[in-house]
Structure formats: structure tokens, C-alpha cells
Structure 1
């Protein structure tokens, strides 16, 4: 059941008092203006004075990333606070595919910001939503970086227990039973407004939520009007109460400091205004390089597979039309052996996207190396087809 959200209840006084920076607004306008636009309004430096003209990056799979003069000028210049437009477009497309939220984006209910790593987004979200004296629900054990943000905020942290299946909704329900759902409509009530949890690959536990628990937790968030900070409940968010944080630190580079925040536009507008007053925007250079890498890789990823329930084989579906030549010729040239999927069909001349991998005799290090080589081949095939 969809509920109407009153975001003013969640935003603290400092966040509500923030106003747009006129210079930052002009930067966004100029980025979207035609080349014929003459601007004498902004504070942008002349890109002709920058010392870097172009760059070439060699990726670990053997492919290269070329940044010509035009792209480099964009990478070295200021960009809009939400992020480089091409990267924003790509990331929104990813969220739409993964979480089925195209309608929320198109209707303007949901938005996305690029931040200086997910830590920056988490910090600014807490600083927008938490006031002194607030009760804040925190999964325990929890990520130390989050605790470093909220501990000094003069709020009361309420630990919610987790186990091997992630945050325990029964414990959350017991904690919230102290309040009535009607308290969520009372501005003077001390009922918690924010729940922080890590639903996938928790730090330090490594645990993740089951689908059943996700549903239970979201139902409790609706009942008690909570905004949960989660990274995998976005697809079931019918109210606009989930704030999702993503990071490219482990996937691409921790030093690039690129993360994203996706969630209800009224909340993200406040985070954006905070960014205007603090960092202005995440590194343009990092964003442009990341965007080029992601565009090169595409949305679909490299492979699909299911965890084996027994035996000694892994059956993979690759993002190529046919695996025969890739496996029997090109993979062998890279000194790695798999079996093409056509070997397991009635008609071995029929194209197959599948590959069989045996893990019975390889060490973990050898398996990692083998799949790195296979991934490099798949990316090369994708680049040829693009």
C-alpha cells in the first residue's frame, strides 16, 4: 500500500535552511547550453590553461581507454553538483534496469547524485535527517565509518540486532513497540525516523538479508514511518522512503572516490544543497573516466550463473552470441581452458552462450586468474560489437 510522505518531518532545521548557490546553478545551466551560448557569468577557469591535453589508460584486461582533448577538457572542468550528465544518465539507466524504477525517475519522484564515495553520501544524509536528541536505529554490529558519522551528532543510537540472515526484523519490531504508529504523526514524539542497515555483504559480518526479511523490514518502515538507509530495497519502495547508497570503491577504484545516492527527490535535493556548500561536486576527472569504463563494459555484465548444489562444475552464460571460438581458440591462446556450451547440446553446430568450468583441481588463485583472463576476452568481444 502506497503512503503519502511528509519529508519536512524528516529534514532537520539546518538542512531545510540551505539555499541554492547561484554560481552552482549557473554551472548546471552552462553545461546544458548549446556551444553558441556566450557566458560571462560563471567562475570557471579557462580550460586552455590546464596542463593536461589528453590521456590513455590501459585496463587490466588489455583494452585501452582513450581520452581526447574534448573529453579531457570536460574531465578537468567544474561540473554540476549532481554529477557529470553522461555518468548520471548511465547510472540512472543501471538503477532502472536493476530496480525497476524508471517510472519514479521519469515522474521526478526519485533522483540520483554522484558523491565522493558512498561514505560522503551517508554522512550528508545523516546530517540532513538527524537532529540533536533524535533516536536513530542502527544495525549492530555496524560499519565503523557510519558510527564515526553519527556518534558525535548528539543523538541516541539504538542498536538493532542482526544474525546470519542480516538485520533481525523481530528485534526491530520489539524496539518499535515502545511507540505507537500514530506517534509518527506527532512532531513532538521521540519515535525514531531513521533506520540504518547494510542488506548485502555487511561490514563486518558479510551477511545479507533474505527477501522475506526485506519485506518485513519495509513493512515495519511503513508502519512506523521510518526512512531506512539500505542498498537493496529500492525496488519494493512504493512510498519514496528508501535512500540507497552505492560505491565504486571495491569494483573500480577506491582512490577515485565515486559513490552514488539514489532516493526520494526531496531528500536528495537537500543533500545536493549540502554538497554545493561543501565539496561542490565529486571529481570531474574521476567521473568522466568512470563513465567511459562503464560505457565500455555495458549494463549486462559479463556472465550469469547459479551456485552449484553439488558436483564439480559451474555452468555460465556469457554476454556473447556464441562461446565456441572464444573458448576453443582465443581462451587457449590466453592459456586458460573451459568447455564451450555447444559440447553439451544435441546439435553441436548450434550457437551457445554457455561455458562449463570445472573447479575440482584448481586452487582459488588459479580460478581467479582463469576468470580474469576470460573476463578480458569477453570485454574485447563487447568492444568489437559496439
Structure 2
């Protein structure tokens, strides 16, 4: 008797753009995929792969912070420097499938797949461009990560901003926005872009109740959820957040992970987990662009996962959570000291950023972008993160990830001086205009 395996029943043709539907596989890329999967006795003369003997590299050694190490040499090094299938290095794909299964326990797992991408931004670009076309409306949390905005903007899409509170997107507001839009006969969105954990720039973490309600709304209004989640393991809440992928009973979630924040940004590795038809569309896009994510980076990541295993990787994530939580607490204390009476902020529940709202200044753009450098401090103006960046915004995003304690202290001291001068300058402008 065959065991019944539930399958995703969604028709994804509704969500794919015409360009995505017209993409066709490259025969050479398919041959590379076949060659990697073929038995060792198959001799391939099909691919245009260079001979590894011509590569000038003979050995690479990698030492990890726990004292363990590995060496790439011979055939393994040759494979790490060679072309691979567009979907990813097969051994890493296998390891990541097991990792995602353990980390999220996704429903309908047999109907999903993974594709390795060249960092989160590449994955974001590939996923959005498979789904959005000219004039399509896209749901975004407001404020939201501007890296998504630069992908969306050339497609002339309509952004539908959903306002956040101190706990992220409010499902009540989301539902009302969609209900009003449907009632007015406007085109409905096919996708929502969201950072559920450590929203960039606000640092909010959606509660499980809100995630469940947002997912129910996605089912009701028939849109996909692109969950860009690079800070998933860098939460500062007592309980680990459950991902949208873990709640996805219909195949609506496109999960985007990145190794940039947790292993190395220079590796340029991320991975997309989604329903197999959506992964296939993204793979075809990769075949026509950069072929595949860097092989050497993928092999290094695979060796790390092989040496550490799932539990040791989770221990690594625990250490960096404590590292960044300590930094969050430091910058929060410094902000209270230097910005008292000038600004307010909420303690971020995840991620890298403190979202500061300045009192008495309508828009921080010129203050930060034009006068900040001359005052020896550089932060991100809030308007850069808004769905409509042309509108004034009184916020500033400050990162606590990399600067030293002394540098953060001095930066916030300089910011306070900058704000006070801006308030005086604003008063003088107002007086001259009266």
C-alpha cells in the first residue's frame, strides 16, 4: 500500500508574469544538471567546462572559530571551482533541505524545493521578478526594506503600504486595506513582501497570532507571502518566532533565507524555499543571468554544515543572538543618554537596527544626508524606507551591528548635536518666513 502524501493544489500560473512563463531552459544548463546526477560510468563530452588542471589553485584551508578545520584539494577543490547546476551544489542542496525540514517542519514538504541564490538581494530580485509585472499592486509593510523597492520600482508597480505599529503589521489594517480595495474594484495584489522577524528598519517581530491571521488573509484574498527573513535566528524575544513557512498549508509562502548575517556577507549565499513550480521559475531565471551562485562559497557552506551539523549550527546562532542583543542594549542605553528630550525609539526585538523618531523635525533627509557627514556621523534617513519616499519622515535608522561601543557613543553624541542645530536652524527659517 502506498502512503498518501499531501500535495500542493495551487495553480501558480495566476501568479507568474508573462516573462516568467516564456522562460525556457538552456540545453547546456540542463546537460550540467544531468551530468551531476548521472552514474560515474557515464562519460560526458556535453558541457563547456574548463579543465581543472588549468586552475592555479591547488589547496585551500579553512579554520573555524571552534578550532576545527577542513582542507579543499584534489577533486573536491576542482569541484568547488567548477560550474554546477543552476539550482545549486547538490550536496549543499541536500543539506539545506534537511536543515529547513528540521528548522521549520513545513507542511507539504514533499511539494517544495530549494534553490541557492547569490545572497538575499539576488533571491529577492529573482522571486519578485517571477511574479510582478507592470502595473501589478504589491503589499508592503510601511516602512520597508529599500532593497525590495529598487527591485520593484522599474516594473512600475503600485505599492500598497500597510502601516506597522510597535509589533509589526496589524492584520486588522491589512484586512481593511484589502476589503476597501476589493470594494472599489481595484486590481488585487498577487504578493505581499514582508520581514516578519526583525523588520528592516523597525526591528519588530510579528507574534504567532498575527502571523496566523495574516496567513488566513492571504488565503482569503489569494496572494503569496514573500517572507524575507535574514534575521530569523537573531531574535531577542523569549520565544523563537515560528516562520510563515511552518504555517503554510496551501503553498503560498516563498521563504528567503540568507547566510550573510549569520555566516558571512562576502560568501554571497542565500536560498529560497518555495513550492516546486515557483523554484523552477527562479531556476530558469538564473540560467539566463548568472548561471548559479558561487560554487566555492557553496562548498564552504556545505563543509561547515557537514562538520557542525544542525545542533552546532543552532548553537552558533544562539551565540550571535547574545552578541547582537548585548549591542542592542548598549545602543539603547546610549540613545537614552544622548537623545533624551530629542527623540524616541522602541527597543528592537530582532535584527541590527534602532529606529529613532526625532521630535520637532518633520523630515530628517537633509539633516542626515547633507549635514551628517560634516558632523562626523552617518545614519540612514527614514524617508528611504517609506513606501512613498517623497513624503517627509522624522525617523532615522541607526545600526548597532558593527561599530564599537566608543564609536556608537560618539555617533549618538554627534547626532544629538546635529538635531539641536537642526532645531535651531528650523526655528530661524520659520522666523524669517513670518
Q: CA deviation at 1:49?
A: 1.1
Aligned length: 299
Query: Does the C-alpha gap of structure 1 residues 266 and 303 become closer, same or farther in structure 2, counting only changes over 3 Å?
Result: closer
* 1:35 equivalent in structure 2: 40
Scaled by the length of structure 2, the TM-score of the pair is 0.66
229-238 vs 207-216, which deviates more?
Answer: 229-238
- The answer to whether structure 1 residue 296 and structure 2 residue 304 are counterparts is no
Q: Provide, for residues 225-272 of structure 1, a one-character-per-residue CA deviation record: whole Å limited to 9, x for no partner.
A: 010111420011011010000000011110110000001111111111
Q: Identify the residue that residue 81 of structure 1 maps to in structure 2.
A: 86
1:131 matches 2:133:
yes
Question: 3-state DSSP class of the match of 1:178?
Answer: helix
Counterpart position of 1:212: 209
Pairing 1:166-315 to 2, within 5 Å after superposition? 166-180=168-182, 190-230=187-227, 231=229, 232-300=243-311, 301-302=314-315
Residue 24 (structure 1) aligned with residue 26 (structure 2): no
Pairs within 5 Å for 1:44-59: 44-59=49-64
| Aligned partner of residue 253 in structure 2, secondary structure | coil
1:119 paired to 2:121:
yes
What is the deviation of 1:100? 1.2
Matched residue SS, 1:129:
coil
1:153-172 alignment, distance < 5 Å: 153-172=155-174
2:97 to 85, 92, 98: 92
The Cα shift of 1:161 comes to: 1.0
Runs of at least 4 residues off by over 6 Å: none
What is the CA distance between 1:41 and its match in structure 2? 1.2
Secondary structure of 1:255's aligned partner: helix
CA distance in 2, matches of 1:132, 1:32: 38
Q: How big is each residue's C-alpha offset from its partner over 1:128-170, in whole Å with a ceiling of 9 and x where there is no partner?
A: 1001111111111111111111122111111111122111111
Matched residue, 1:337: none
Of residues 53-62 and 133-142 in structure 1, the stretch that sits farther from structure 2 once superposed is: 53-62
1:112 aligns to what SS in structure 2?
Answer: strand
Who is 1:349 aligned against?
A: none
* C-alpha deviation, 1:277, in angstroms: 0.2
1:159 and 1:235 map into 2 onto residues whose CA distance is 25
**More moved, 8-17 vs 164-173:** 164-173
Distance in 2 between residues matched to 1:168 and 1:175, nearest whole Å:
11
TM-superposed deviation, 1:3:
8.3
Question: For residues 77-114 of structure 1, what are the alpha-carbon distances to aligned partners after superposition, in whole Å with 9 as ceiling and x for unaligned?
Answer: 1011110011001110011011113x6343xx211000
The answer (yes or no) to whether the contact 2:8–2:108 under 8 Å persists in 1 is no
Aligned mates of 1:5, 1:274 — CA distance in 2: 21
1:263 counterpart SS class: strand
**SS of corresponding position for 1:78:** coil
Taking the aligned partners of 1:121 and 1:302, their CA distance within structure 2 comes to 26
Measure how far apart 1:57 and its partner are. Answer: 1.2
* Distance of 1:50 and 1:5 partners within structure 2: 46
**1:47 Cα deviation (Å)?**
1.2
* SS at 1:67 equivalent: strand
Provide the rounded CA distance (Å) in 2 between the counterparts of 1:135 and 1:302: 40
**Equivalent residue in structure 2 for 1:104, among 105, 108, 132:** 108
Which segments of 5 or more consecutive residues in structure 2 lack a partner in the other structure? 1-6, 230-242, 322-403, 406-434
Q: 1:10 aligns with which of 5, 15, 19?
A: 15
State the alpha-carbon separation in 1 of the partners of residues 151 and 317 from structure 2: 37
Give the Cα–Cα distance (whole angstroms) in 2 for the partners of residues 56 and 34 of structure 1. 30
Change (3 A) 1:99 1:78: same
> What CA RMSD, in Å, does the superposition of the two structures yield over aligned residues?
2.2
Question: Is the alpha carbon distance of 1:217 and 1:86 closer, same or farther for their aligned partners in structure 2, counting shifts above 3 Å?
Answer: same
Q: Once the 2 structures are TM-superposed, how far is the Cα of residue 171 of structure 1 from its aligned partner?
A: 1.3
